[in-house]
Structure 1
């Protein structure tokens, strides 16, 4: 099994919802100067459009993800912040 460790720590957006233990979804990840899709597994079901963080690789084109929110978005003066 070939591990693609470059994807660990990247964030992406789900294009197909995950189903928790019932099965994977699909995530679009910005990596290597472009965008690539991977089968995405998560502990809990996650909806289409959810932003996720890749936390592990399962080998070729399969990753484990967790829901993720950019902590910098909460800072005053961050992009989109009126204050």
Structure 2
């Protein structure tokens, strides 16, 4: 989609021209972008290998979050884990 100074946006409950739109410098979107994330813990097993705690549950939450935000998510759990 192409935007220019005449593009109309909906910002904070009002329709405004893109050229008039101002955002807070501390805005979450400005600093962190449009994304989803999942925190994952891992640990060393007695055999010295790394294991991920509840890996499938973490993968499913991440996938569901991406789907909810319409972010393409093409990785399988095996690729991520």
TM-score by length of structure 2 reads 0.28
Larger Rg over CA atoms: 2
Q: Which has the higher contact order (CA 8 A, sep 6+)?
A: 1
More helix by share: 2
More strand by share: 1
TM-score by length of structure 1 reads 0.28
